[in-house]
Chain A
Amino acid sequence: MRTKAVRQLGWNTVGIALFVVMVFPVYWMVSTAFKTDDQINGLTPTWFPFHPTLKHFSDAIHTPFFWTDVKNSIIVVLVTVAVAIVLSFLAAVALAKYRFTGRKLFIFLIIGIQMLPGAGLIIPLYVVLARYHEVGKLSGVIITYLTFALPFCVWTLRGFIVGIPSDLEEAAMVDGSTRLGAFVRILLPLVAPGLVATSVFAFITSWNEYIFARILLNDQNTQTVTVWLSYFLGTSRNQDWGALMAGSTLTAIPVIIFFLLVQRRIMFGLTAGAVKG
C-alpha cells in the first residue's frame, strides 16, 4: 500500500516536472507580453512580472487592422473546416465502403500529395489562382487551405469509417428505416468523433498557416491574423518584442478555446479510427 502511494507520488512528480518543461516557452511568451520593455531587454531574466503592464496588449489590439484580420481568419477557418469535413467525408465513404476501379490510384494520389514539398508549389499555385482571379481574396485562401487539408482528412476519415461494420447499416435498414434514417441513427454517431478529430486538425492547420496567406493577401483589409502578426517582425526598425508576444498570445487564444471545447471528443475519435487503421 505504501509503496503504491510512493510510486504514485513518483509518477506525479515526473508528470508535473514534464508539464513545467513543456509549457515553459508558452509561459515565457505570455509573461513577456506583460513585461515592461526594460524587463524584456534586461540581461537577467525577469521570471515573473510583478508589475504587469497592459501596454503591449493595448498596442497590439489598437493596430489598425487587428479586428478585421481576426474576423477574416475566423471566416477562412470556419469555411475551410466545414467544407473540408463534408467533402472529405463523402470521399472517405467512397474509399472505405466501395470497391471500384481507380480506388488504389486515388489512395496513391492522396498519400502522394502529402509528400510534395510545399515550397515547390508556391509559385505555380499562385499562377493558377491568379488565372482564376482568386488572388487577394479570402476565397482563394480557403481553396488553397482546402487543397492541403483534404488529403489528410480523407485519409483519416477513411480509417474511422473502415472500422464500422457494414452489417450495422444493413441491419438498420432491415428494421424498416429509410437510408437517411439508417445513416443518421447509426453511422453518423459512430463517425462523429472522427469528424471532430479531423476538424480540429483542419482548424489548427488553417488558423496557423502563414506562407500562402502572406503571398495571396496584399490588402490589409483581407489579411488573416497570422499575416498581421508578421508585421511585428517585418520592420527594420525597433523590434517591439512585447507587442509581438502580446499579439502571439492573442492569436493563440481561439485555437486553445476551440481545442479545449472539443478535446474530449478527440480522445474517442482518434482511438476509434486510429486503432482500426
Chain B
Amino acid sequence: MAVAAETTPRWSRRRRLSWASVRRGSVPYVLLAPVAAVLAAILGYPIYSLVRLSLQHYTLFELIAHKGQYIGLKNFGSVLHDQIFWHTLVRTIVFTIVNVGLSVVGGTLIALLLVRVSGWVRILLTSGLVLVWSMPQVVAVQVWNWMTNFQNGVVNYVLTELHLGNYYGHDFTQSTTSALGLVTTLIVWGALPFIAITLYAALSQVPAELVEAAEIDGARPWRVFLDVTLPILRPVLLILTSLSILWDFGVFTQPYLLIRQVHIHPSNYLMGIYLFEEGYLKSDYGRGAAISILMLFIVAALAFVYVRRMVRIGEAE
C-alpha cells in the first residue's frame, strides 16, 4: 500500500486514501440501514411477541382482552410431553429427507438431461419447467385435488385403465403413506423447476475442456460427474439443499389444502400442520408460539451444516 502511494500520482493517491478511510467509516451501516429498518420495524415486534406469547397462557379470551398470563415454560413443557409432537417430528424429518432428496437428485438429473438434449427439446423442456414454476401454489393444489378426486379424477382414471389396480373410488387420503405420498408428489413437482434451472445454469459453468479431458482419459460418465462436475456444482447444491430443507420442513399450504381439514388426523400431521391445528384452530396462541420457536431451533439444527458451509465459502473471498 505504502509503495503504491509513492509511485502513483497525487490526485489518485488522494482518492485511494479517501476510499480506504471511507471503508472504515460508517458507510456499511448506512447501506444496511434501509433493510435493517424495514425488518426491524415490521418483524421486530412480531418476533418479540412470539417469544413473549410462548411464555404465556393466551387463548381467544386473552386475545380479546389483550392480556395474557405468564406461565413460564409450561407451554414448552406441554408440547415436549405431547406424544403427537414427537411422532410428528419424526414423520416430518423423514418427509423432509425424502422431499429434499427427490427434489435435489431429480433436479440434478433434469439439469444433466438438459445439457444432452437437442436445442429445440431444451427450449421445450425449459418452457415447460417455467410454466410449472409460475403456477401459484393455491392453484396447483386445486388442480391436483381435482386430478385425484375419487369420483372423476383423471389420475385415478389413468391408473385404473393401466390396470395398476382399481382406483375408481379410491381415496388417496385414506392412509398416511398415500396421503403424504400425494403431497410429496405435488411438492417435488413444484420444486423441480427452480432446482433444475438453477443447476443447469451452473452446469454451463463447468469447463468443457475438463470434461473432455476426463473422458479422453477413459473415465466413465459417473466418475466424470463425481470428479469434475460435482465439485463445481457444490456451492449451488449447498444453497439449494439448505433452502429446500427450510421450505420442506415447515411446509403447510400444500398438505393442508391437498389433504383437507376433514382428512387431517394426528397420524398424518406434518410440523407445519401440527402448528396450525394445535396453535390456531384451537386458538391456543401461547402453545402455537412455543411450537414455532421449537420448529425454528429444529430446522436451524437440520440446516446448520449446510448454512455454515455456505457462509464459509463467502468468507473465503
Touch between chains A and B, by CB atoms below 8 Å: yes
Residue in B16, B118, B252 whose beta carbon sits within 8 Å of that of A119 in the complex: B252
- CA A50 – CA B220 in complex, angstroms? 49
A41 (CB) vs chain B CBs: closest residue: B152
Size class of the B contact interface (CB-based, 8 Å): 35 or more
Asked if B136 contacts A248 (CB within 8 A), the reply is yes
- Closest Cβ neighbor of A159 among chain B residues: B314
Q: Is the CB of B135 within 8 A of A277?
A: no
A251 contacts B235, C-beta separation under 8 Å: no
Chain A residues with CB under 8 A of B15? 173
B288 on interface, CB distance cutoff 8 Å: yes
Q: Which of B34, B38, B121, B285 contacts A123 (CB 8 A)?
A: B285
Contacts of B246 in A (CB 8 A): 114-115
A204 CB contact (under 8 Å) in B134, B238, B313: B134
Cβ–Cβ contact B117 & A121, under 8 A:
no
A82 at the interface (CB under 8 A from B): no
What are the residues of chain B within 8 A of A95 when measuring CB–CB?
28, 32
Quick check: is B255 within 8 A (CB to CB) of the other chain?
no
A77 within 8 A of B: no
* Residues from chain B with Cβ under 8 Å of A119 in the complex: 252, 272, 275-276, 279-280, 288, 292
Given the interface pairs A91-B31, A91-B34, A274-B239, the reply to whether A204 lies near B133 with Cβ below 8 Å is yes
- Cβ-based interface call for A252 (8 A): yes
Alpha-carbon distance A11/B143, docked complex (angstroms): 29
Return the chain B residue nearest A270 by Cβ. Answer: B201
Residue A67 is within 8 A (CB to CB) of chain B in the complex: no
- B228 / chain A contacts, CB cutoff of 8 Å: none
Interface presence of A191 (CB below 8 A): no
Chain B 37-56 near chain A by CB (<8 Å), digits 1 or 0: 01100110111011001000
* Inter-subunit contact B205/A275 (CB<8 Å): yes
* B144 contacts the other chain (CB 8 A): yes
B-contacting 9-mer, from A18-26, A57-65, A215-223: A18-26
Q: Most A CB atoms within 10 A — which of B19, B146, B280?
A: B146
C-alpha spacing A18/B303, complex, angstroms: 30
Closest-by-CB residue of A relative to B15 is A173
Are the C-beta atoms of B250 and A43 separated by less than 8 Å?
no
Residues of B within 8 A of A15 (CB): 113-114, 117, 121-122, 124-125
**If the complex has contacts A14-B113, A45-B157, A271-B205, are A88 and B35 also in contact, measured as CB distance less than 8 A?**
yes
Please state if B128 and A23 are interface contacts (CB–CB under 8 Å). yes
- Give the residue of B288, B296, B314 whose beta carbon is less than 8 angstroms from that of A116: B296
Chain A, residue nearest B292 (CB):
A120
Q: A12-B117, A115-B246 are in contact. Are A210 and B136 (CB under 8 A)?
A: yes
* Shortest CB distance A106–B (Å): 7
CB distance from B160 to the nearest CB of A (A): 11
User: Which chain B residues numbered 134 to 179 have a C-beta less than 8 Å away from chain A?
Assistant: 134-140, 142-144, 146-147, 151-152, 154, 157
Q: With a CB–CB cut-off of 8 A, which chain A residues contact B303?
A: 115
Q: Is the CB of B42 within 8 A of A25?
A: no
Closest 8 CB pairs of A and B: A120-B292, A277-B313, A124-B46, A94-B31, A208-B136, A255-B134, A98-B28, A277-B235
Q: Could you list which residues of chain A lie within 8 angstroms of chain B, going by C-beta atoms?
A: 8, 11-12, 14-16, 18-19, 22-23, 25-26, 28-29, 32, 41-45, 87-88, 90-91, 93-96, 98, 100, 103, 106-107, 109, 111-121, 123-125, 127-129, 143-144, 146-147, 150-151, 154, 158-159, 162-163, 170, 173-174, 204, 207-208, 210-211, 226, 229-230, 233, 241, 244-245, 248, 251-252, 255-256, 259-260, 263, 266-271, 274-277
- 10 A–B contacts, CB within 8 A, in A order: A16-B125, A18-B125, A25-B189, A43-B152, A150-B38, A163-B317, A173-B15, A245-B143, A259-B130, A275-B205
